[in-house]
Structures are given as C-alpha cells and as structure tokens.
Amino acid sequence: MDILKRLLLTLTLLFGGLVCSAARPNIVWILVDDMSSHFGYQGGSLVNTPHVDRLAREGVSFTKAYATAPVCSTFRTSMITGMYQTSIGGHHHRSSRGVEKIHLPKGMKTIPEYFRDAGYYTSNGGASGGTWGKEDYNFVFSRDDLYQGRDWSGRAEGQPFFAQFQTRGGKWRNIEKWYKELEGDSPELITADQVTLPPYYPEHPVIREDWAQYLNSVNYTDIEVGRILDRLKADGLLENTIVFFLTDHGISHARGKQFLYEEGLLIPFVVWGPGLLPEAGIRDELIAHIDIGATSLQLAGIEIPDTMQGRPLFGANASPRDYVVSARDRCDETVDRIRSIRKGDFKYIRNFHPQRPYLQPSLYKDSKPFMPVLRELYAAGELNAVQSLQMAETRPEEELYDLSADPWEIRNLAADSVYRVRLLEFRALLEQWVEDSDDQGRFPEPESMYDSDMEGPLKKIRKQSPENAAILKSNIALMKRWQAEGK
C-alpha cells in the first residue's frame, strides 16, 4: 500500500494537476496560537507532548522554520496567501478592520480557494471542529468564498478535503480548569519552581509563574492535537491525510511575540503523512512559514501560481532558501517597523525607529502580568545588563547576532569591526529584498487608515473599561506626536 501511495505522490509531484482527484490526499493544518519551540521533540524537558512528538518522529520536522511575522493577523494573512504580508499590504496587525479596507492584488486567491477550485472540500474550525476557526486576515474576504464548513463532515462521499484547525495554544493560562474536563489521566501541572527562564528575564515569581502556565498550555495543546488525530482515525481518514503542525509565532512575552528574536520567530513546523511523503526525518534548512501553502498545493497535485512567494518543500521543484526575512510593523496602536534576516548562523535586525523604546506603550502588551514587573524592576535598577536590553529607551539601528555562539541573542556584534563585512552584506541583502519584494512597510501608513483601524477597538474598549479607553487614546496620541517629531 505504501509503495502505491509513494508512486501516486511521485506522479503528483511530477505532473501536478494531471493526477486524478481521487488519488489526492487530504490536507490538514493544525495551527497553534502564541507558542515557541518548546515541545518534547525539540528538547522541552518539562512538557509531555506525545502526539506532536509522534508527528515529528514519523514525519518531517523542520528545525529552522521562521515566521515571516511575529503576530497573529499578519502571520495568518501571509500564510493563507503564500505571500509576504509586506508585499500585499497586510503587514499592520489587525488592519482593514475599519471603514478603510485592504484588498488583495487583482487575480490573487487564497490557499483555500485554490483547493476549492481543484475539487477539495474546505473547512476551518476550532480544535474540536464544532466552532468556526480563527481567521484574522488583514484584507477583505468572504468566509463563504474560502470555507464550506467547520470540519470535513459536510463533504461529498469520497471528496478530498483541506481542513484547518485553530487552537488557542499559548493564549491559555490557568489551564487547571481545562485539565479537570479530561477523561483519564491528565498531565502533571508544571510549577513555577521547575521553570528555567531565558537569561534575559529576571528571576521573579510572577514571571516564573507565567512561564509555568505557558508550558502547561503546551501540554494542553498536545491533548488537542491528539483529539484531532483520533477523529481522523475514527473516520477512517488517517491513512490518506497529510498533517501540517505549526504555531503562528512565539510565546507572548516581552522578547517573544511582536519581536524578531528567536523567541518570537522560530516555530515548530512538522509535516506528517506516513506513506504519503517522499521522505521522513529531520531537515535543517531554512524555511519560511509561507511555504506551507505552496507545499500543500504541491502535495495535492494542484499547480502553484508562479507569483506565489511561498516555496514547495518536496520534490524536484523544491528550492532551498539562502535566507529568511521577517517583519514587524504596527501592532494594534503601536507604530513600529523592524526587519530581520536569518542566514547561516547569523541573524541581522534593522530597527527603523531607533529613537523609540523597544517596549513602546501598548495596551495589549502592558496588560500582561509580566510587563508591570519588568517596568518596576527596571525603574528600580534591579535588572542586570542582559535583562535590561529589551527595556532600553532607544535601540541600535542594527543588530547582528552569531546564533551558534549566542543563541539567546544578547551580544550585538553590529558595532564590532571584525564583523563589518558581514554587516554590510546583510545591509545590502535587506535593501535588495525590500525592493524586490515591494515591501510596503517602506511607506508610512496613512493617518486615515490608522484612525480607521483604531476606531473599532476604541469603541469596544470604551464600553468595557473607560480607564483602558483613556490609556489607548493616550497611546494613539503619543504615536502621532512621535511621528510628527520624526522619532
């Protein structure tokens, strides 16, 4: 059976759409919110993740998979189109939500639409499949054009399907109450005293407790993955289904989500399908998360558009990346522009607003339990030099890290003359990428668009908390003042 499947896959990879739809595998994406590379197969010593570990062990695990954006909506905008969010104008977090709208370039389709055109049934649901799944796309779209259901149950008999499952992942905290609903034994809760923090975070009870709760959410995510796999098996679908497992960016912490360090960008990325993939094992080349779309189309025998920036990861058309670019732009009310390149063992970061602090005022970020602690400790002079890095009031224009010697990215080599040639290489590489990819972030967001996207959150928060609404208004005014000052 495996030999026949591999033969069909080879024909699919070689001839694309010429393979009949009946031979095509089902494609499943399991996408997890706010979670870095902390699973058991990645060396997580405290977690218990047998289902994800199984996917990695039996499938293909990519060790250097990078998000092209470290925040939900921009990540999902690029994932669902196979394009850099910066190339299609979807680079500002939670944009196109007000009166002013963003439209995809003429003729561009989403990945689900390509699957529908090829005869696949398409769905998007929560982890249980009983609710609609998170979309969060920064452009105008109709759910009815993309998805036909919340799971595959509505498809015609024998019809292949493309199904997405969205899990809350690292957004879960206080996971104990969810453990109580589990049948059978639940994983032991990880406690704050067991946690080992990265060196750039201080040893504080609030931060240790938050990190422990996050690791418990990793365990719960694995339980949800197991439920999805069990359902595929119960429906007799597991043997003809390829599963992609990945997270949408890193942990929501000071140096993780929204920033271009490894904690925010390096994600788990696994492709599983015994007998359906041309290989299994560990692959160490650089990939971008937008490669998921092109690879899914490829494995389904669907032609990949020539204009798609995502690349297939298998077969003769696989094209290894020499480097991966990531981008952070406005997140909610907080205006920013940062770009990074990972190439070889080095990471280059360009800060386009060096006169601003890393942790600018942000209603979302400042509501996290660790933020008041970090700000208080920094103001009291109780953080060491490494722990103070992210708290700085200004930033260097450029950062350069040797990840082989400095995996925590705490020794900036940009000003070191020994690395001058390498710095110039990265600088030129980024300038060329900005031009070649038509990076829309090089143009300031129109104030009318900014105001349009701020009005919705302001209106909602006014009803929930006048105090928070006042904070948000103050942050918006500060962003505009800094922009007027050229800061």
- Beta pairing class for 241-247 and 26-32: parallel
Confidence of residue 16 (pLDDT cuts 50, 70, 90): very low
pLDDT band at residue 316, thresholds of 50, 70 and 90? confident
Q: What angle do CA 25, 29, 31 make, to 5 degrees?
A: 170
279 and 196 within one domain:
yes
Q: Which domain holds residue 60?
A: 2-321
């560990």: which residue's tokens?
282
Q: Could you tell me if 348 and 400 are in contact, meaning their C-beta atoms sit under 8 angstroms apart?
A: yes
pLDDT at 130: 87
Provide the pLDDT for residue 175.
Answer: 73
Can you give the CATH number for the domain in which 358 is found?
3.30.1120
How close are the terminal C-alpha atoms of the chain, in Å?
63
pLDDT of residue 176: 72
| Cβ–Cβ < 8 Å for 88, 81 | yes
Per-residue pLDDT band at 399 (split at 50, 70, 90): very high
Same domain for 476 and 336: no
pLDDT of residue 13: 52
Rounded CA separation 14/23 (Å): 14
For residue 382, what pLDDT band results from cuts at 50, 70 and 90?
A: very high
Find the DSSP H helices in 360-419.
Answer: 363-366, 370-379
Between 8-22, 102-116, 130-144, 427-441, the lowest mean confidence (pLDDT) is in 8-22
Residues 74 and 11 in one domain: yes
- Predicted confidence (pLDDT) at residue 324 exceeds the cutoff of 90: yes
Phi, psi torsion values for 74, nearest 5 degrees: -70, -35
Report the pLDDT value the prediction gives residue 17, as an integer from 0 to 100.
41
Locate 180 and state its tokens: 């109580």
Mean pLDDT over all residues of the chain?
Answer: 94
Which pLDDT value is given to residue 184? 61
Question: In CATH, what number is assigned to the domain containing residue 310?
Answer: 3.40.720.10
For 254, counting Cβ atoms within 10 Å of its Cβ (0-12 exposed, 13-18 middle, 19+ buried), the class is buried
Residues 56 and 136 placed together within one structural domain of the fold: yes
Structure confidence at residue 157 (pLDDT): 94
List, in order, residues 6 or more apart from 260 with CB less than 8 Å away: 70, 326, 327, 328, 338, 339, 340, 349
Q: Which of 88, 186, 190, 193 is CA-nearest to residue 141?
A: 88
In this model, does residue 4 exceed pLDDT 70?
no
pLDDT at 185 exceeding the cut of 70? no
Percentage of the chain exceeding pLDDT 90: 90
CB 342 within 8 A of CB 66: yes
Structure tokens at 55: 């996917």
Per the document, the length of the chain is 487
Across residues 280-292, what is the average pLDDT?
97
Q: How confident is the model at residue 1 (pLDDT cuts 50, 70, 90)?
A: very low
**pLDDT cut 70: percent of the chain above it:** 94
Q: Is the pLDDT of residue 352 over 50?
A: yes
Q: Which of 300, 321, 342 is the last residue of a domain?
A: 321
**Same domain flag for 292 and 433:** no
User: Same structural domain for residues 264 and 399?
Assistant: no
- State residue 12's pLDDT score: 53
32 pLDDT above the threshold of 70:
yes
Which residues contact residue 425 at a Cβ distance below 8 angstroms, ignoring those fewer than 6 apart?
none
212 and 181 in one domain?
Answer: yes
Q: Are 373 and 367 in contact (CB under 8 A)?
A: no
* 3-class SS of residue 239: helix
Strand 60-66 with 281-288, pairing: parallel
CA dist 187 and 222 (Å) reads 10
Confidence class for position 22, pLDDT limits 50, 70, 90 = very low
Tell me which range, 162-176, 181-195, 360-374, is most confidently predicted by mean pLDDT: 360-374
Task: Give the model's confidence band at 317: pLDDT under 50 very low, under 70 low, under 90 confident, else very high.
Answer: confident
CA distance 247 to 72: 10
Are 350 and 287 found together in one domain?
no
- C-alpha to C-alpha distances, 40 to 45, 213, 222, nearest whole angstrom: 6, 16, 10
The helix/strand/coil state of 166 is: strand
Residue 183: what pLDDT?
Answer: 61
315 and 457 inside one domain: no
Q: What is the pLDDT of residue 15?
A: 46
Instruction: Give yes or no for a contact between 345 and 353, defined as CB atoms under 8 angstroms apart.
Output: no
What distance in Å separates the CA atoms of residue 50 and residue 225, rounded to the nearest whole number?
10
Q: 130 vs 28, which has greater pLDDT?
A: 28
Whole-number Å distance between alpha carbons of 445 and 94: 13
In sequence order, the β-bridge partners of residue 60 are 271, 281
Tell me: do 484 and 432 sit in the same domain: no
Pair of tokens at residue 45: 């010593």
Distance between alpha carbon 244 and the CA centroid of its chain, in Å?
13
157 and 290 inside one domain: yes
Whole-angstrom CA distances from 130 to 27, 125, 228, 288, 352 are: 19, 7, 12, 30, 43
Taking only the tens place, the pLDDT of each residue in 453-486 is 999 999 999 999 999 999 999 999 999 999 999 9
Phi, psi of 351, rounded to the nearest 5 degrees: -100, 115
Last-in-domain residue among 321, 344, 364: 321
Q: Which residues is 327 bridged to in the sheet?
A: 339
* Whether residue 440 is found in the same domain as residue 475: no
Q: Confidence class of residue 21 from pLDDT cuts 50, 70 and 90?
A: very low
From 46-50, 147-151, 170-174, 483-487, the region with the lowest mean pLDDT: 170-174
Where is the domain boundary, 301, 321, 341?
321
Q: What is the DSSP string of 46-103?
A: S---HHHHHHHHHSEEEEEEE-SSSSHHHHHHHHHHTS-TTTTT--STT-S-SSS---
pLDDT for residue 216 is more than 90? yes
d(CA 287, CA 66): 6
Q: Which of 22-31, 205-214, 292-301 has the lowest mean pLDDT?
A: 22-31
pTM assigned to the model:
0.94
Q: Are 93 and 71 in contact (CB under 8 A)?
A: yes
Q: How many domains is the chain partitioned into structurally?
A: 3
pLDDT given for residue 109 in this prediction: 98
Confidence label for 20 from pLDDT (cuts 50, 70 and 90): very low
